[in-house]
Amino acid sequence: MSDSTTQNRLLTPFNVVAGAIVIIGLILTFIRFTKGIGSVTNLNNNYPWGIWIGFDLMCGVALAAGGYVTSSAVYLFGMRKFHAAVRPAILTGFLGYLFVIIALFYDLGRPYRLPYPFAVSPGPTSMLFEVGLCVALYFHVLLLEFFPAVLEWLGLAKFRNMIHKLTIGLTIFGVVLSTLHQSSLGALFLIAPSKLHPLWYSQYIAVYFFVSSIAAGLSMVIFEGFLSHRYMHDKMDDVHLEETKEIPYSFGKAASLVLFAYFSIKIIGLIADNNWHYLTTPYGYWFLVEMLGFVALPGMLYAVGSRERNYTLIKIASVLAILGIVLNRLNVSVICFNWKLPLAQKYIPSLNEVGISVFMITCIILTYRFIANRMPVLYEHPDYKDSEH
């Protein structure tokens, strides 16, 4: 290949933009860790958690749920026809949790003390300790679940087969951990009834977070599958291309049911807490935007798209559902938090905070592309075609 051809492949619009984001992100990282967290954020005593927690962590954990949703569907419920979606979902989940942990280093005032609650002063009575422990354990579960692909790439068949035998056990353990920490992220806000707006605060908020994470996982699998087909089609073998044809419609049908279930339990919570009068306030209108535009609408589009086998509707629904999860987590953690404060005292993230969040997203995409281009993620390794991944 000539130098000019190589240069043309490297200097694509995506690579140029991604490269610029990475450079800016590294500069902001240097500033953050040399001048302190206050040099790059607008956090204060009223808002100790900003978008690095609300978006990078809470949204990241929810959108990484495709790993446990897909692996449990295939390995625990016997839906083998969706096997092609497992490794991409596991990889997405693993990278999501990896960069959630990395984002924590940015958000903590003393990031070097991240292991402190586990190694020095454990606090088993704290909900935050439970979340941290489950996230740490599930990160390692995802690493082990994805490791067979790494070992296949390295040609280490013996070790690959040893870890592959742990699949069912790892899947069960992963589902248990995900059930715990997906719900516990919501339960964290039970200690702030006077700060979180009543339309988002509920005694059932842990259930809301868990159920919505299932919809997020299903939607991410669909969305990621669409992107992989469009931009990494050449990496897929015939088996994956054939198996993935049905995934958007089946996962879309499941996502529709979950979204309508989520919508229903949110309405039940609204009735139980008798918060109807808030619906005629500005926060109430915003609540209706979230529920109608990003829960009910994608649920309906999923249902129609699955019935009519309309892939365009499925794709639109997946984007709306993902945006809905992001909106909900930001509403709970940032937008509708401290709702009684005057507007002048509200937290607005700085450009530096937004820049680092965009940097994190870009790093996830680049890492996924790097791995999927080299390891058997979107295709079956020729030496293991007779065995399941």
Is 387 inside a domain boundary? no
User: Which H helix or E strand runs over 206?
Assistant: helix 205-231
Is 125 inside a domain boundary? yes
Is 70 inside a domain boundary? yes
Is 212 inside a domain boundary? yes
Is 139 inside a domain boundary? yes
How far apart CA 104 and CA 149 sit, in angstroms, is 27
**HSE of 244, CA atoms in CB hemisphere, 13 A:** 25
The vertex-147 CA angle with 143 and 151, nearest 5°, equals 160
Is 299 inside a domain boundary? yes
Is the pLDDT confidence value at 79 over 90?
A: no
Q: Are 252 and 306 in contact (CB under 8 A)?
A: yes
Tokens of 273: 């807490």
Residues 339-347 have a mean pLDDT of 90
Residue whose C-alpha is closest to residue 287's, from 212, 201, 347: 201
List beta partners, residue 70.
none
Is the pLDDT confidence value at 177 over 60?
A: yes
Q: What is the pLDDT of residues 94-150, one digit of tens each?
A: 999 999 999 999 998 888 888 888 888 777 777 788 888 899 999 999 999 999 999
Phi, psi of 124 (to 5 degrees): -65, -15
What total number of domains does the chain contain?
A: 1
CATH of the domain at 210: 1.20.1630.10
Is the pLDDT confidence value at 389 over 80?
A: no
Tell me what pLDDT residue 281 has: 96
Where residue 388 falls among pLDDT bands split at 50, 70, 90?
low
Tell me what pLDDT residue 123 has: 76
Q: Are 86 and 74 in contact (CB under 8 A)?
A: yes
Q: Interhelix angle for 127-154 vs 157-164, to 10°? A: 140
Supply the range of the domain harboring residue 78: 15-377
Tell me what pLDDT residue 11 has: 80
Residue whose C-alpha is closest to residue 28's, from 59, 63, 47, 52: 52
Tell me what pLDDT residue 229 has: 87
Tell me what pLDDT residue 46 has: 87
Q: Are 327 and 27 in contact (CB under 8 A)?
A: no
Tell me what pLDDT residue 386 has: 54
Is 382 inside a domain boundary? no
- Residue in this structure with the two tokens 């059930």, named with its chain if needed: 179
Residue whose C-alpha is closest to residue 85's, from 256, 218, 178: 218
* R_g (Cα) of the chain, nearest Å: 21
Q: What is the pLDDT of residues 300-314, one digit of tens each?
A: 999 999 999 999 999
Tokens of 11: 């200097």
Q: What is the pLDDT of residues 105-114, one digit of tens each?
A: 999 888 888 8
Q: What is the pLDDT of residues 19-41, one digit of tens each?
A: 999 999 999 999 999 999 999 99
User: Which H helix or E strand runs over 241?
Assistant: helix 238-243
Tell me what pLDDT residue 128 has: 83
Is the pLDDT confidence value at 166 over 80?
A: yes
Q: Are 190 and 295 in contact (CB under 8 A)?
A: no
Is 81 inside a domain boundary? yes
Q: Interhelix angle for 205-231 vs 167-187, to 10°? A: 120
